[in-house]
Amino acid sequence: MIIENLVIDKLVYGGYGLAYSPDGEVIFVKNAYPGELVNVEIVEKKKGYSFAAVKEYLVRSEDRTKPRCRYFGSCGGCQWMDLKYESQLKAKKQIVEEQIKRLASIEAKVEDTVESDEIYRYRNKVEYEAMKAENGIKFGYHSVDAEKIVYIDDCSIVPKEFEYLKAIVEKIINSLEITRRVFTHIVIRKTSKSEPIVIVATKTPMIPLERDFIKLFKRNLPGISLLHVENRRSKFALLGKQKILIGEPVMYEEIDWFTYQIPATSFFQVNISILKKMLNMIKEWMDFQKKDRLLDLFCGVGTFGIYFSPLVKEVIGVESDTKAIKAARSNTRINNIKNSFFLAGDVINFLKKRTEKLEKFEKIILDPPRSGMGKEGMELLKKLEPEKIAYISCNPSTLARDLKYFLKDNNNYTVESVIPFDMFPHTYHVETLCIIRKNPVPDKGV
């Protein structure tokens, strides 16, 4: 089905341009920007809306620019590399505003999107997926339609050395003629203070011809650590049994006057310039006091809790990743922190136990996964009666949903500020910091 002369109204979460058909139906158009006039073909019809692909551009946006990456358009890693960076920042602010207004049903002030210092080569982690190639095995990214893997030999948003490391691993695999489909992923990580770590994931307990593999790796990549993850079924590359083959399984990063130990398979923010700006913004908005108890939920390696520990009385961090918690405890020793305690366990179960004891925390920081906290989690947070909450979200949809849960039938709290951060330039993804404050008790007089 072809629809002609559609005007793209705005960009929405997911990277699509939004337009309306002549009968008022919502149409999400791939690779279309605000102000463009296009003819489209409907590729998928849903109840009340459709997805479409551009058949012809009648009028193109002046904000379009030449993409730096030659794979843009076939690789699904970036969606907006042909859009001026200033327009990307404006679109992300608008997306956050719309999601909060539409899903949370509240009017909250959304600040301008905080820009990244680097918009190319900014990622400190990359994940490649295995694909069959003419001469053996290669590694690449999902295609735009996610139906296949696209081979990439130079990704513009990761360091050049990552591509070199990937090429060497491909060469080793193919020189050993390991043609069976046992490899699933290669993950490469680095920090400003540590050499890169290469993580190879396979469906098997061992890398085929493992001794030869290790020997060739050492010869070609001296000083680089190598880990193996047995990943039989999961689509998540780093979920499975882990084995250190060469070097150390940890990295180190410095942020201001703190040093962080980071296990190779644990979460850490991919864009350090944005992380530093976020830390400064949290400090500015949270008004930490020496009397405060700070609760750091989904704390990872203790990034936030340790950074703010000198400003408060006590920090309690909670995280389900036991390796991350072990690193967080090491980070307290590395930084000589005496008032911070990190616990391994489920965040919801932790909150249930603490609310049963009527425990209170003046300040809370939470950085949940994309799925957010959920209704139960937000209800439990209310029972802790914090003075302020800093909610860090990588998904504005679940952030808005959680705000609705928290504020429903609750006049005690107000969304003080919402600040988008461009953690992921050239993509539709946006990191959002939401500050929630407890309303002052009204003065009833004498």
C-alpha 308, offset from chain centre: 22
Q: Is 329 left (phi over 0), alpha (psi -120 to 50) or beta?
A: alpha
Q: In the prediction, which pLDDT does 444 show? A: 60
Q: In the prediction, which pLDDT does 120 show? A: 97
Q: At what angle do helices 210-220 and 160-175 cross, to 10 degrees?
A: 140
pTM: 0.93
- Residues in the chain where the model's pLDDT stays below 50: none
Tell me whether residue 75 is one of the annotated catalytic residues.
Answer: no
**Tens digit of each residue's pLDDT (9 = 90 or more) over 310-328:** 999 999 999 999 999 999 9
Task: Give all domains of the chain, ordered by start, each with its CATH number.
Answer: 2-62 (2.40.50.140), 89-117+266-438 (3.40.50.150), 125-253 (2.40.50.1070)
Q: Exposed/middle/buried for 307, CB within 10 Å: 0-12, 13-18, 19+?
A: buried
User: Looking at 69, 155, 299, 394, which residue is catalytic?
Assistant: 394
Answer for the pair 165, 224: CB distance below 8 angstroms, yes or no.
Answer: yes
What residues are paired with 430 via a beta bridge? none
Sheet of 314-319, strand order: 340-344, 314-319, 293-297, 363-366, 388-393, 431-438, 413-421
Q: In the prediction, which pLDDT does 112 show? A: 98
Can you tell me the distance from the alpha carbon of 276 to that of 278, in angstroms, rounded to the nearest whole number? 5
Q: In the prediction, which pLDDT does 443 show? A: 62
Can you tell me the distance from the alpha carbon of 408 to that of 418, in angstroms, rounded to the nearest whole number? 18
Q: In the prediction, which pLDDT does 239 show? A: 84
Please state, for a pLDDT cut of 90, what percent of the chain lies above it: 89
Answer for the pair 57, 38: CB distance below 8 angstroms, yes or no.
Answer: yes
Tokens coding 342:
């990190």
Q: In the prediction, which pLDDT does 445 show? A: 60
**Tens digit of each residue's pLDDT (9 = 90 or more) over 325-361:** 999 999 999 999 999 999 999 999 999 999 999 999 9
Q: In the prediction, which pLDDT does 145 show? A: 80
